[in-house]
Amino acid sequence: MSDLVRHAALVLALLAPAGLLAQSEAVPAESVRGLLETARSSASQNDAEAAAEALGRAISLAPNSEEVLGAYARFSLGRGNPIQAILALEPLARMHPAEAEYAYLLGVARMQVGEMADAAEALRDAAALDSGRALTHIALGLALNRLNRLDDAQEALARALRLAPDNVEALAAMSETAEGLGLLAEATRLAERALAVNPDHPAALVTIGTAFLKEGRFEEAREALTRAVAAETESIKGHYQLSLALARLGDRQGSKRHLQLSREAQAAIEQSIQHLRAQSRLGSRAEP
C-alpha cells in the first residue's frame, strides 16, 4: 500500500465545492464551516493531525452533511486511510446516487482494502454516470484484472485508451490484461509503450518480465523483474515472478529470497488492512 501522505495531497483532499471559499466573512471556530476552514488551513500547512482533529469535530457536529463527509473522505484517501474514507463515502453514495465522483472514490477506496468485487460494482456505477472519464475506466480495469475477469477488464481499458491513448496507467493495466489472456506479444508491446513514458513503471516491468518468463526468455525476465522490485520494493507479484525466473536460471538461493519477500509483502498489506479495519467508527483517530 503506497504512502499518500504528501503536502499536495492534503491540500487537494480538502478542496471545497465551488463557491465555498469565495465567502470571506469570519465564521465561528466551532461551527461546521469554521472547522472546515481550520482543516483546510491546517492541511495547507501540512499539519495532518490538526486537520484530522478539526474534521473529526465537524463529523460529530454534522454527520450527514455532504460537504463534511466529502471533505473527510478526500482527506482520508489522501492520508492513506481508505477504511475511514469508505465510512464517509457509503452514506454519500446512498444519498447522492447520481453523483459519479462519490461512486468513483468509493470504488478506489474499496480497491485499496482489497474489496475488488465491491470496488468493481462502484466503479461500474461511476462509469455509467460519467462515461467520459478515463480514470474511472482505468480503475475499473484494474479491479477487474484483480478479479481475473479479463474480458471485462479489456473492455473497460479499451474505453480508457480511446479517451487517453497515451495514459501510462491505462497502457500498463492493458498490458497486464493481455498477458493474462495469453496475448504475450501484445502485452509486451503495450508494456514497452508504458515504459517509453516511464522507464521505471513497476506494473509494466512486472508484466513484460512475466511475458518474457512465459516465452522462456529467462535472462530478460530476470532483468525486467529485478528493475520492477527495485522500483517497487513491496511488489508481491514482482518478487514472486522474479523468484520463478531465478529458479529457471538455477539461482536457488535468490529464488528462495524473493519468494520470501513476496510473502512478507503480502503479510504486510494484510496487517495494514487489519489495523485500518479496527477503526470502525467514522472519525476514528487511529493512524493508518
pLDDT for the residue 281: 67
Distance of CA 275 to the CA centre of its chain: 18
Residues 6+ apart with CB under 8 A from 17: 67, 70
- Distance, CA of 14 to CA of 41 (rounded, Å): 9
Nearest Cα to Cα of residue 135 among 155, 113, 179, 105: 105
Query: What SS3 class is residue 218?
Result: helix
**What digits encode the pLDDT tens for the residues 28-53?**
446 888 999 999 899 888 898 899 89
Q: Give CATH 1.25.40.10 domain extents, the chain.
A: 187-288
pLDDT for the residue 136: 97
pLDDT for the residue 272: 85
What string of pLDDT tens digits covers the 288 residues of the chain? 333 223 333 333 333 333 333 333 444 446 888 999 999 899 888 898 899 899 989 988 998 999 999 999 999 998 888 999 999 999 999 999 999 999 999 999 999 998 999 999 999 999 999 999 999 999 999 999 999 999 999 999 999 999 999 999 999 999 999 999 999 999 999 999 999 999 999 999 999 999 999 999 999 999 999 999 999 999 999 999 999 999 999 999 999 999 999 999 999 988 888 887 776 667 665 444
When computed from its CA atoms, the radius of gyration of the chain, rounded to whole angstroms, is: 21
Measure Cα distances from 168 to 14, 194, 196, 240 in Å: 27, 5, 9, 23
pLDDT for the residue 16: 35
CATH architecture for the domain at 187-288: Alpha Horseshoe (1.25)
First-to-last C-alpha distance (Å) of the chain: 11
Distance of CA 50 to the CA centre of its chain: 25
Angle between helices 100-112 and 66-78 (to 10 degrees): 30
Phi-psi category of 15—alpha, beta or left, where left has phi over 0 and alpha has psi -120 to 50?
beta
